[in-house]
A and B are shown apart, each in its own frame.
Chain A
Amino acid sequence: MAGINTMIDEGRTQDDVAPLTAVEMPRQESIDENYETVGSPLLHNPLVKTRNVNVFYAEKQAIFNVNLDIAKNEVIAMIGPSGCGKSTFLRCLNRMNDTIDTCRVQGDIVLEGQDIYDRSVDAVELRARVGIVFQKPNPFPKSVYENVAYGPRIHGLVNRKSDLDDIVEDSLKRAGLWEEVKDELEGSGTGLSGGQQQRLCIARTIAVSPDIILMDEPCSALDPIATAKIEELIAELRENYTIAIVTHNMQQAARVSSRTAYFHLGKLIEVGETEIVFTRPVHPLTEAYITGRFG
């Protein structure tokens, strides 16, 4: 035991960290209001375009001047230390922040040419187009079938019971859950295992056929096997959906995403091809985070 501990500790002794922070400090201060995101945050012909996004919780600013584009059918990973505003930014994309009284969003978030914070846009309709999967699996305390059928039903997507059955089956199949639950669709959704619940939540989200799926640390409550299943699922879903995923797991970001965005204290520091961000980060803060020196 002792041997392993020392081996791990060797990597980052006190002496190792101390000079590094000393060097970092001025850098951090230099990210002022007029900072610029390094890498390639902007794209040609993006699906989602965010410009000068600032988010406040009451007086406190959580997101500073973020510009980021998301392309169609890409998986973009958002990483960064805890409290840096990943969830906040993600939730702006389908206006989930509307539900928080104190939260104010400034700037433009444009989905296919339409500013989603425009008064003419209905948040309810938007959320059918931009689905979200939360960190903690949160199936409704209803049957598996009802969980998946709920979205199509409230949006009036189907008229016939058989169509609804088809949607439920199709969504559960895409979420890789069908084989496990097909015999007990009437069983309670909350009676499933954590991993199954999370896949049920994904099935519930894709049942309304959104364009974009937002995922906020979808695997953080799951064991490695359930996590692997979800990652597999994301790889399959990317063919039909655009996915923005927040994760704390760097390997996961590297495995599932094509682009990666690094947030730090509410600022978007660096965006680029996942491979490049993880192997040759440009910004020292990104590098420090990737190499596990803080976060």
Chain B
Amino acid sequence: MTDSVRKTVRDNLKKRYRAERYFRWFGVISVGFGLLCLVALFGDIFSKGIGAFRQTAVELEVFFDPDVLGVSASAEEAKIRTANFDGLYKAVLRERFPEVTTRGDRRVLYRLLSTEAAFDLQALSMANPDLIGQTRKIWLLADDDVDMYFKYGRSGEQVGRLSEAQQAWAEQLIAQGAVKTRFNTGLFTNGDSRDPEIAGVKGAVLGSLFTLMVTFLISFPVGVAAAIYLEEFAPKNKLTDFIEVNINNLAAVPSIIFGLLGLAVFINYFGVPRSVPLVGGLVLSLMTLPTVIISSRASITAVPPSIREAALGIGASKVQVVLHHVLPLAMPGMLTGAIIGMARALGETAPLLMIGMVAFIIDPPSGVLDPATVLPVQIYLWADSAERAFTERTSAAIMVLLVFLIVMNGLAVWLRSRLETRW
């Protein structure tokens, strides 16, 4: 190398390093921006939703008055079940605030507690009938407006519809230490409700689970079989090219169209009931199928041809090559693809609106043929509700959905590292 050449190279080197530095900085900034957006989004959801995991309760002295209830401690179970617990919690409130006398005021007073209080009292009495006739201090579920007031309203934030009088009563209770927040188990054990304080995500979570189960059971085997056929057996001709183009197209079709298709075919033509996870799963598997086929084909092509030749060379038949060698090697990739497709299906709302999974359903489903809703639809429904307490729950439901997604994606990573064979 002559000196002049060496100098040119050195000068160029400087330029090359500078370009590299810029490139690296650009990368760092891009990643940073992405992370920032993520943190902002999660931070917002988290700060809004975290409150929903705690729930306000009010402690009251409850006299299980046989006269109000209309039953005695020795009554049979069925009688106790139908006793007037509604009247009981109202009586308890009246006793606690004897100064409230007019009917109108009393009606407002009753709204300090959730109507769920009656069911709580019922459950207690049924578990222990001896309570009837006795007096106990019991924590009862507060109404959502009280909940909001206790959690946010006292610091001046305008959050609820609590009247002046109600606020005064609440303050009185708070001053006595008779108000606290406790972990909101109902959020996970209840179905949907018009009353935010007893609305839970159980129905939506189960609905999502059942729907995804149906989706997986249909789209995975069908998708894998289609991919294997197209990659390994189908002749390469115009027809298979045409099919390939259409599969790629299907993957990009807006999901609502699958919903319309499902409505027309599954519900109207085949008579599958509306609003059930079965039909939701069918529609979502139509939507996921192209993704599964495409990712499965990609992982089949990634299996080195030398493995196929090796097996063919010692006399394995085509099917044996596929089942013994190609599938095991392609399986991790196929599963990852399927799970990613499922994760997308999990967050899908539009097609499910078309097939009636947007209905207001209180009871959590116990099978694929029970009416249900799913998490994203639940989020949509709650986000649409006026009560401030539902805003909080919307964020909580989003957090549950995110956990669901993290679990699924984690599963994909775990499966991949578990099943992967190196060659």
In the bound assembly, the distance between CA atoms of A204 and B236 in angstroms comes to 32
The reply to whether B235 and A204 form a contact with Cβ atoms under 8 Å apart is: no
In the bound assembly, the distance between CA atoms of A141 and B423 in angstroms comes to 5
A183 at the interface (CB under 8 A from B): no
Point out which of B236, B309, B313, B324 has the most chain A C-beta atoms below 10 A from its C-beta. Answer: B313
A33 at the interface (CB under 8 A from B): no
CB-defined contacts of B235 to chain A, threshold 8 Å: 101
Q: Which residue of the partner chain A has the closest CB to B325? A: A140
Q: Across the A-B interface, how many residue pairs have beta carbons closer than 8 Å?
A: 68
Mark each residue of chain B from 220 to 262: 1 if its CB lies under 8 Å from any CB of chain A, else 0.
0000000000000001100000000000000000000000000
A208 at the interface (CB under 8 A from B): yes
In the bound assembly, the distance between CA atoms of A268 and B304 in angstroms comes to 32
Given A132-B313, A204-B314, A138-B306 contact (CB < 8 Å): yes
Interface residues of A in 109-160 (CB under 8 A from B): 124-128, 131-134, 136, 138-142, 150-151, 154-155
In the bound assembly, the distance between CA atoms of A96 and B307 in angstroms comes to 13
CB-defined contacts of B13 to chain A, threshold 8 Å: none
In the complex, how many angstroms separate the beta carbon of B93 from the nearest chain A beta carbon? 72
Q: Which of B309, B316, B324, B422 contacts A134 (CB 8 A)?
A: B309
The reply to whether B313 and A154 form a contact with Cβ atoms under 8 Å apart is: no
Interface residues of B in 31-63 (CB under 8 A from A): none
Interface residues of B in 314-344 (CB under 8 A from A): 314-317, 320, 324-325, 329
In the bound assembly, the distance between CA atoms of A211 and B246 in angstroms comes to 48
A94 at the interface (CB under 8 A from B): yes
B8 at the interface (CB under 8 A from A): no
Q: Which residue of the partner chain B has the closest CB to A128? A: B315
In the bound assembly, the distance between CA atoms of A96 and B316 in angstroms comes to 12
The reply to whether A141 and B421 form a contact with Cβ atoms under 8 Å apart is: yes
Q: Which of B310, B312, B314 contacts A208 (CB 8 A)?
A: B314
B381 at the interface (CB under 8 A from A): no
Given A101-B235, A141-B329, A208-B315 contact (CB < 8 Å): yes
The reply to whether B309 and A205 form a contact with Cβ atoms under 8 Å apart is: no
Point out which of B236, B308, B309, B314 has the most chain A C-beta atoms below 10 A from its C-beta. Answer: B314
In the complex, how many angstroms separate the beta carbon of B328 from the nearest chain A beta carbon? 8
CB-defined contacts of A139 to chain B, threshold 8 Å: 310
CB-defined contacts of A99 to chain B, threshold 8 Å: 308-309, 312
In the bound assembly, the distance between CA atoms of A132 and B306 in angstroms comes to 12
B interface size (C-beta, 8 A): 22
Point out which of A124, A139, A190 has the most chain B C-beta atoms below 10 A from its C-beta. Answer: A124
A105 at the interface (CB under 8 A from B): no
A interface size (C-beta, 8 A): 29
Mark each residue of chain B from 387 to 423: 1 if its CB lies under 8 Å from any CB of chain A, else 0.
0000000000000000000000000000000000111
In the bound assembly, the distance between CA atoms of A155 and B316 in angstroms comes to 8
Q: Which of A127, A133, A138, A140 contacts B315 (CB 8 A)?
A: A127
In the complex, how many angstroms separate the beta carbon of A91 from the nearest chain B beta carbon? 9
Given A101-B235, A141-B421, A141-B422, A134-B306 contact (CB < 8 Å): yes
CB-defined contacts of A201 to chain B, threshold 8 Å: 310
CB-defined contacts of B325 to chain A, threshold 8 Å: 140
CB-defined contacts of B324 to chain A, threshold 8 Å: 150, 154
Q: Which of A131, A136, A142 contacts B314 (CB 8 A)?
A: A131
B267 at the interface (CB under 8 A from A): no
In the bound assembly, the distance between CA atoms of A128 and B316 in angstroms comes to 9
CB-defined contacts of B423 to chain A, threshold 8 Å: 141, 190
CB-defined contacts of B310 to chain A, threshold 8 Å: 134, 138-140, 201, 204
Q: Which residue of the partner chain A has the closest CB to B312? A: A99
In the bound assembly, the distance between CA atoms of A47 and B320 in angstroms comes to 29
B138 at the interface (CB under 8 A from A): no
Q: Which of B236, B304, B313, B329 contacts A131 (CB 8 A)?
A: B313
The reply to whether B314 and A150 form a contact with Cβ atoms under 8 Å apart is: yes
Cross-chain pairs A/B with CB under 8 angstroms, 8 sampled: A96-B312, A124-B316, A127-B312, A140-B311, A151-B314, A154-B314, A154-B315, A154-B324
B interface residue numbers (CB < 8 A to A): 235-236, 304, 306-317, 320, 324-325, 329, 421-423
